[in-house]
Amino acid sequence: MPTPQPRYGSRHSKTALRNPRQSRWTARRKALAALPTGGTPPPSHDYQLTGTLTPDITGYYDENGTYNGRSAYQHAPAGWWLWWDGSSFYIISATKGVFGNFWVAVDADTITGLYIPQGTVTGLATASTA
């Protein structure tokens, strides 16, 4: 009667009777078990501003009230605002409602897209949904 062959691997292998997939599935199960469950989800943001800007006001902007009948958004660390001017354009400035040194949207009536500097601020800013 012939000698039964191991199910997996070579009969001369030390791991002949071990399933070669076992370690991969075990590692996957352990990795999934290590994932956090529940808890606080990461914060969601409304818009993200990118670019090489001076001052550096890049980052996330979250809704914080309204201005001229539309939502206004504030950058938490720097305190800058993204707001509607009331007639045609969205503005990014240090104070909501004050032009001074600011960025203005290139496309009228659109919050996302390119913003160009006015005054002493520098760099092209891009706003996108976060």
Dump pLDDT digits (tens) for 10-34: 555 555 455 555 566 566 666 666 6
**Residue span of the structural domain in which 51 resides:** 47-129
* Structure tokens given for 42: 């990461």
How many domains does one find in the chain?
Answer: 1
Would 62 be classed as within a structural domain?
yes
Would 40 be classed as within a structural domain?
no
pLDDT of 50 strictly over 70: yes
Would 8 be classed as within a structural domain?
no
Would 73 be classed as within a structural domain?
yes
Would 17 be classed as within a structural domain?
no
Which residues, other chains included, contact 91 with Cβ-Cβ below 8 Å and sequence gap of 6+?
A: 81, 82, 83, 84, 85, 99, 102, 103, 104, 105
Query: Using CA atoms, how far apart are residues 51 and 91, in angstroms rounded to an integer?
Result: 16
Q: Please name which of 31, 33, 58 lies closest in space to residue 45, comparing C-alpha atoms.
A: 58
Query: Using CA atoms, how far apart are residues 124 and 9, in angstroms rounded to an integer?
Result: 61
Would 99 be classed as within a structural domain?
yes
Would 28 be classed as within a structural domain?
no
pLDDT of residue 44: 87
Would 19 be classed as within a structural domain?
no
Q: Is the pTM of this model over 0.75?
A: no
Instruction: Tell me the pLDDT of the chain averaged across its residues.
Output: 83
